[in-house]
Amino acid sequence: MAEAETVLRLEGICKSFPGVRALEQVSLELRRGEVHALVGENGAGKSTLMKILSGVYQADAGRILLHGREVALRNPREAQEAGISIIFQEFSLIRGFSVADNVFLNREPAGFLGHLDRRAARERTRALLADIGIELPVDRKVEELSVVEQQVVEIVKALSFTASVLIMDEPSAALTDQELGRLFRIIRSLRERGVTVIYISHMLEEVFQIADRVTVLKDGRVMGTHPAGELTKDGLIRLMVGRQIEDYFPPLGAGQGPVLLEVRGLQRTGRLADISFQLRAGEILGLAGMVGSGRNLLARCLLGLEPHDAGEILLRGTRYAARGFRQAMKAGFGYITDDRKALGILGPRSLKENLTIANLQSYLAWGFLRRGRENAAARAQVLRLAIRSSGIGQSAQTLSGGNQQKVLIARWLLREPEVFIFSEPTRGVDVGAKAEIYRIMRELTAAGKAILMISSELPEVIGMSDRVLVMQGGRIRGTLDQREARATEEGIMSLAVGHTYSLGQGGAAK
């Protein structure tokens, strides 16, 4: 990328919170029309820095220069009016309002005698959409839009402030591969228009696909800024975590024990057909496939969250008919959901409550909750999984993504299930937290537990699975056994899209 005009410069930014030095002498330069990735482990300072840029926080020291002039961003409105907008993971849209109403919320164009000019708002919204090459009905309610379409509304709202710098915080967290491709096209369109995009993501593959330059933060300090083309994934990980990760994935399990879960001819009319497999103690069985392949539906059937029309499920050789999630829990299932914010973490509740909620019966005596015993159990799990917090009273929603994920795992460890279903176990967590979660999963199998792991990340599927089931069109298309021949991304994708796959291509297809 040719040398370009500097749009935004941060010089010596410092920020402290009680007992925590969040940012230390952070300096950063952003150029016009570049996609600048900001990466680092949870707690590295990325969110704090972006909140300072967007006016949510004010720095304790240092200065911000926008187009060569020092600016004071005392609140988000001032940042937006200066040309800096941020799109958080949680969109700030009113679902019952239309696209145009959201874009010009509280800034509606005024017409004759000061009345709201909704026609002008719709026309200006259409023009902004056309600028980035997107067609979207401006009268449609936001609640009717897909996730990527809602992101488009947030982008257009930012452009309506004439944004020259757009911050995108984990923009791909809930997107399919197809939606991600569409988002990247929009980002490239913004870059061509001269907009500077700050792209924050834990997904390093995305960083290499979309970023021009990459800045790494660690412990509140800048570890370096590099052209994306000069970095490798391993090199970037070393900068982020400050150490070599040669054994990113733990070794495969030492061996396999007795069959804990067996599925025979499971069927859901029109959606699942003839699903049969075994899951053994000490094993991680990966479940791979494209979106819509039936992976998540299969898990929901096992957990009693969805009915099935035919076939049988056996636990430890005994037929088990799932009639609800509570029964699945009692039978010995544990479930780590892929949507921890909506279905996992009880946000406003304390860390302790989140840890013990699935096992409260164990802390009751004569109908009363024995809080001392509950507190001791929660503290033990915090130590066991190295959950970083200020104490068991901390609100769970204030924990980092990686620590929230460990809370969900710890919650089920207290119940001691035999069969765990992990759905997208490391979605939205940094590379350091990923390595810790992988270690925990292997410790579980070493203790004789069995794990069915659903993942959309092929390196994760290959690195963590003893065997891989690949689904396509509601059927199991093949099984790749790591012990006979290592599965490859090409092999998994071939099966996932309905192609045949042979041992000669690097794996065992059965």
Q: Between the ranges 167-176, 284-293, 413-422, where is the mean pLDDT highest?
A: 413-422
CA atoms of 510 and 492, how far apart (whole Å): 12
Tokens describing residue 462: 């290959």
Per-residue HEC secondary structure of 67-115 comes to CCEEECCCCHHHHHHHCEEEECCCCCCCCCCEHHHHHCCCCCCECHHHC
Handedness of CA 417, 418, 423, 426 (dihedral sign): positive
Q: What are the extents of the domains in the chain?
A: 6-241, 247-332+417-510, 341-415
* Model pLDDT, residue 500: 55
Answer whether residue 464 shows pLDDT above 70: yes
At 414, the pLDDT band (50, 70, 90 cuts) reads confident
Mean per-residue pLDDT for 228-239? 85
Task: Note the pTM of the prediction, 2 decimals.
Answer: 0.61
Q: What is the pLDDT of residues 185-197, one digit of tens each?
A: 889 988 998 999 9
Answer whether residue 245 shows pLDDT above 70: no
CA atoms of 125 and 335, how far apart (whole Å): 43
* Model pLDDT, residue 503: 44
User: Residue 120 gets which letter from DSSP?
Assistant: H
> Which class is 6-241 in CATH?
alpha beta
Mean per-residue pLDDT for 13-39? 90
E strands of 157-271, at which residues? 165-169, 196-200, 213-218, 221-227, 259-268
CA dihedral 416, 417, 423, 427 (to 10 degrees): 0
At 156, the pLDDT band (50, 70, 90 cuts) reads confident
| Fold match between domain 6-241 and domain 247-332+417-510 | yes
Answer whether residue 508 shows pLDDT above 50: no
At 485, the pLDDT band (50, 70, 90 cuts) reads low
Homologous superfamily (CATH) for 247-332+417-510: P-loop containing nucleotide triphosphate hydrolases (3.40.50.300)
